[in-house]
Amino acid sequence: MENSPPLLSKSGFVAVMGRPNVGKSTLINALLGQKIAAVSPRPQTTRKRQLGILTLEREDCSLQAVFIDTPGIHQPRYKLGELMNKEATQTLEESDLVLFIVDGSQPPQPEDTLLFNLLNGLKRRVPIILALNKIDLLQSSPEQTPKGVDHQPRNDHRAAYMENLPQAQAVAISATQGDNLPELLETIIANLPEGDPFFPKDQLTDLYEREIAADLIRETCLNILRDEVPHGIAVRIDQFTERGETGALIEATLFVERESHKAIVIGQGGQMIKQIGSVARQEIENMSGRSIFLQLKVKVRKNWRNDEKVLRAFGY
């Protein structure tokens, strides 16, 4: 038998950057093939750093990309916003590679400019991949597209973005349709440094299951309550108990800022909290692959968003 050469091993931390709602969580989930990051049609669902870990064993190399899903850059309105900005900057400085996601169906927005400035001001030179997402929303124009070439110039505003980040490598994608995701993955791999994996092969995220459960409950609240309780819900997991064969028991408290919000969250005859509980339970079961018994309580905690102690207690 011939001796095969030692496998090339690559690994690194990929900071996933982008303003709210451009599709960061959707893209990480698509690359990982499993629901980890909270995805919501509303911005600001993702409040904490979340790691998604992609481990591939290929013939030519073994590879581990650790995705850090950072909160977007916002104009700080609350203390919470300031915490998120600090965290985003720190994430960039620690990473091996930046995956900068923009909405390619729109020209650059003011919030993108904040990110351009942040990236261009970095002391360390980190490779940047610019993912022009949501190209499924664009019509291809027949005159521009050469025959037989599929993903060619639809107007994905590439030039306008590249003007601000000339050092970036751009790939046009659709996270929801899966367009060009293999190309994006190859670009990521090409830019990862050589190194051994950081985490065991079968690990998908370093978030504890209970933190993911809290995110899923919060996400469900935002989706079901829409604008009725704006940004005013924090979720604390009070208990997460294994029940052997039968699954797990989760007890959680939803904190709102006002009595009036509490009434909305509970709903008439408790019908709203029941609906939230049943959708959230389903989501947690999908994530954890076993049956879950979920119990929710609602409490009022005034101004939790501006109270640093409370934010810390909730793990922000």
**Nearer Cβ to ligand GDP (9/223):** 223
Contacts of Mg ion in 20-39 (CB under 5 A): 24-25
CA dihedral 101, 105, 109, 114 (to 10 degrees): 10
- Closest separation in Å from C-beta 24 to Mg ion: 5
CA distance 113 to 129: 16
Which of 10, 11, 15, 26 touches ligand GDP (CB under 6 A)?
26
Contacts of ligand GDP in 134-193 (CB under 6 A): 134, 136-137, 174-176
Helix (H, G, I), strand (E, B) or coil at 268: helix
**Nearer Cβ to Mg ion (221/272):** 221
- Closest separation in Å from C-beta 242 to ligand GDP: 30
CA distance 81 to 43: 13
Tokens at residue 307, please? Answer: 């109270």
Q: Does residue number 24 form part of the binding site for ligand GDP (CB under 6 A)?
A: yes
Spatial neighbors of 30 by CB under 8 A, at least 6 apart, are: 175, 176, 178, 181
CA distance 224 to 42: 11
Residue 18 binding result from Mg ion, ligand GDP, none, given CB thresholds of 5 to 8 Å by partner type: ligand GDP
Spatial neighbors of 211 by CB under 8 A, at least 6 apart, are: 48, 237, 315
Q: Does residue number 265 form part of the binding site for ligand GDP (CB under 6 A)?
A: no
**Nearer Cβ to ligand GDP (134/301):** 134
- The residue number whose beta carbon is nearest to ligand GDP equals 23
Neighbours of 286 (CB within 10 A): 12
Q: Does residue number 187 form part of the binding site for Mg ion (CB under 5 A)?
A: no
Q: Does residue number 46 form part of the binding site for Mg ion (CB under 5 A)?
A: yes
- Closest separation in Å from C-beta 243 to ligand GDP: 32
Q: Does residue number 133 form part of the binding site for ligand GDP (CB under 6 A)?
A: yes
Q: Does residue number 21 form part of the binding site for ligand GDP (CB under 6 A)?
A: yes
Pairing status of strand 292-300 against strand 128-133: unpaired
Helix (H, G, I), strand (E, B) or coil at 53: strand
**Nearer Cβ to ligand GDP (39/119):** 39
**Nearer Cβ to Mg ion (100/154):** 100
Q: Where are the beta strands (DSSP E) in the chain?
A: 8-17, 50-57, 61-69, 97-103, 128-133, 169-172, 234-242, 248-256, 292-300
- Closest separation in Å from C-beta 94 to ligand GDP: 20
Pairing status of strand 50-57 against strand 61-69: antiparallel
Tokens at residue 277, please? Answer: 């509980």
**Nearer Cβ to Mg ion (24/236):** 24
- Window 42-71: contact mask with ligand GDP (x via CB under 6 A): -x--x-------------------------
Query: Which residues of this chain interact with Mg ion, rule CB under 5 A?
Result: 24-25, 46
Note the residues at the interface with ligand GDP (CB under 6 A). 18, 20-26, 39-41, 43, 46, 133-134, 136-137, 174-176
